Structure 1
């Protein structure tokens, strides 16, 4: 007897001759329009969007089939399966199947995440208060204010996720909500939808369709990476310069020499920040955040020096800084170090190395998190505080403080802040300073903390 939430038997039952056409129809409802639009065969889809997402879409169509009732006799896949094969299923499994049979798919906004435990999910289509979802796996990878297309079903006193879960971008979510509003004759971007469970159950294929129309153009077009520049306007190309220590030279002696250089600030026994001149504040402002790291007082960090074994490592983000850094080290240390060896890595190479899980060509030293966190958080505090008084395109070129004066403006502010939090939280390492930055003060500063739900 099968236990848990194993749907293997139900899936196999759906491929029987009496259900095969209905399963095919469900798959066509979820995938057919997008496949036709982009001229893709169904067997090509896994290679384009990945095996995981292709199987997830199959699961969305299958779960939709499990909810469908076919007239004139009211035939339903789950009812028929439990009637004929229920003896082979455990009690919890049958409870789960019956809950799935009456479920609806919607798009939810995720918050209050407890990794390995669960999260709150707010229905963006039907509205209402967020519900607590018990979920161990997805809660470890979801970020604050992520949007998911999913079925949340009650099982044994808890709300849990069904199997088909689609990760929605903000753009795809807005496209779906706009389409639903237009379908009800509502043109306002914040108009409340009036969609009940029965109607939403029929809209399940639309959710998959919108998701596919969002992801396929990105998957089919070659990825282009824009040219990035550091705070000095120099193209970002990571340079890692290794200075071997000369024979007889100790780390202690190197440290003493480096401590005499005004531009270097020691952070740990083996780590120094290379500091630049503090910039003059730009009163005009651009409404954009500069790429770079700075100290708590706004002094820019040009690079880092770290003693590792019998070598001194200089890590910077441009060829120009590498040249200046080598000159600085030569002047400070002279014959204490040998001829340096430079490793260069582009943005594309760094991204490829991270995707492949390689660590042999990392462009920067392993900066202790206790050192990086206050630096990054301090930089973000200053930049976000300045941004509160600058026009923001996402806020119709109004400043956040201006938007906080009206109800409509506060709603836009909440959407904007959720967008910022979501971007900041999307880090592979949950201990990354960007991921641990706390946006609470901004909500409180603008007086909209009640909308952070």
Structure 2
């Protein structure tokens, strides 16, 4: 039997299962379950459940929510029953399904939701996944449609089903960014602490209760882990809702200036380049990076021993015709003009300026200041630009790395976990930008002396 026919049988079985859920007693239970799940999420953002659901519906997110919630509902055990809806359906109507589709339903009934990290992708064929925070060997999951939208280091709440010696995803899948996934342990810890408080109240009210603190902590941990699928849905739904209704924030740099990407080109004569370079090298606020062949403009003296946490105000580079200054605000553009006019005087001509505000940059989305690429640029041009951009970043303080540079963090083993998480975020963000998705980050891992995670 070919793969298309097998998938058609599974889709038919899921359709029949959904229709079965519209019958008593499952229909009433399903309404209650969906209402409670959406209500919990709506309460988190302080809106009515109708308003919350409408926002998800209007923005094309309700189908994803339904697929995930329906699987939660169909695999849940109600009251004192020892069967879930899927098992009830198989018992009563399983005879009507193709053998492989029936095995799929049986595996789905026993499956569990896990928060997974994508470690590799073969678009249109398979993805490899492992639990977030784990270093275990990844599972290869054969997924044709979904794999086209997944990137390395994406995170997903999903069920992995073993069927006929292959792993498959079920239909209910929720996407998370690497940063969002890092928040889940704190959410679980909060749920665990709430359960501990409740169990301690029960112990205080029942004089016959012999639970120790260790017993309570263990029970609370087990209960919190059972709540993981619900927690993941609520977190995902709230993040989606807030991203839709939240207005665009005003983005500011460290000086409180509104972000405007600014590139200023000062004409220079070829015969003056050597003198321009000499003066730039001598300037106390300009630190030359021999790897990227550019000067980093700092907010303090480069020779000052306390400048470890110095703010990078901009970058300077020289072409055959121009001295190019790149900064992130109009105010800094004015400041660098005055600075260079004083430093270089007659060696530079009248500058040409280009500005892009944060809204324009978001329209041409490029995460965390990645260099913007036009579709007409050749792959080798894009690669060269990214190579230069990332080489610069390796020597710049990063807030996520406690204001250390990536190179400094690589020399401190205690910083390696945070550094690896930052690299995952960097790689994942770049893959989201058109024309940059195939950029190979292996050299960065190697340059920082870290094992490249496969």
Instruction: Assess, with a 3 A threshold, how the Cα gap between structure 1 residues 180 and 78 changes in structure 2: closer, same or farther.
Output: same
My pick for the range that moved more, 65-74 or 411-420, is: 65-74
Q: Which residue of 159, 166, 172 maps to 2:167?
A: 159
Instruction: Assess, with a 3 A threshold, how the Cα gap between structure 1 residues 352 and 383 changes in structure 2: closer, same or farther.
Output: closer
Partner of 2:441: 439
Structure 1: distance between partners of 2:240 and 2:41:
10
Shift of residue 123 of structure 1? 0.7
Q: Which SS does the other structure have where 2:140 is aligned? A: strand
Partner of 2:213: none
My pick for the range that moved more, 130-139 or 373-382, is: 373-382
Which has the larger helix fraction? Answer: 2
Is structure 2 residue 158 aligned with structure 1 residue 150?
yes
Shift of residue 45 of structure 1? 2.2
Structure 1: distance between partners of 2:432 and 2:451:
22
Q: Which SS does the other structure have where 2:60 is aligned? A: helix
Q: How many positions carry a matched residue from both structures?
A: 351
Is structure 2 residue 83 aligned with structure 1 residue 83?
no
Is structure 2 residue 382 aligned with structure 1 residue 373?
yes
Alignment of 1:162-241 (within 5 A): 162-183=170-191, 200-224=225-249, 226=251, 228-232=259-263
Is structure 2 residue 21 aligned with structure 1 residue 28?
no
Q: Which SS does the other structure have where 1:17 is aligned? A: coil
Is contact 2:158–2:170 with CA below 8 Å preserved after alignment?
A: yes
| TM-score normalised by the chain length of structure 2 | 0.65
Q: Residue by residue, what CA displacement relative to the aligned partner does 1:198-257 show, whole Å, maximum 9, x if unpaired?
A: 9745431111011123232222222346454334379xxxxxxxxxxxxxxxxxxxxxxx
Is structure 2 residue 408 aligned with structure 1 residue 402?
yes
Instruction: Assess, with a 3 A threshold, how the Cα gap between structure 1 residues 153 and 290 changes in structure 2: closer, same or farther.
Output: farther
Q: Which residue of 45, 58, 64 maps to 2:53?
A: 45
Structure 2: distance between partners of 1:195 and 1:151:
24
Partner of 2:429: 423
Is structure 2 residue 23 aligned with structure 1 residue 16?
yes
Partner of 1:256: none
My pick for the range that moved more, 161-170 or 126-135, is: 126-135
Instruction: Assess, with a 3 A threshold, how the Cα gap between structure 1 residues 365 and 11 changes in structure 2: closer, same or farther.
Output: closer
Q: Residue by residue, what CA displacement relative to the aligned partner does 1:93-145 show, whole Å, maximum 9, x if unpaired?
A: 11111111011112111121111111111212777432111111121121221
- In the alignment, structure 1 segments of 5+ residues that lack a partner are 186-192, 235-260, 263-277, 303-319, 321-343, 355-362
| TM-score normalised by the chain length of structure 1 | 0.66
Partner of 1:124: 132
Instruction: Assess, with a 3 A threshold, how the Cα gap between structure 1 residues 382 and 409 changes in structure 2: closer, same or farther.
Output: closer
Shift of residue 63 of structure 1? 0.4
Shift of residue 74 of structure 1? 1.2
Q: Which SS does the other structure have where 1:443 is aligned? A: helix
Q: Which SS does the other structure have where 2:33 is aligned? A: helix
Structure 1: distance between partners of 2:318 and 2:24:
66
My pick for the range that moved more, 153-162 or 287-296, is: 287-296
My pick for the range that moved more, 397-406 or 102-111, is: 397-406
Partner of 1:135: 143
Q: Which residue of 5, 30, 33 maps to 2:11?
A: 5
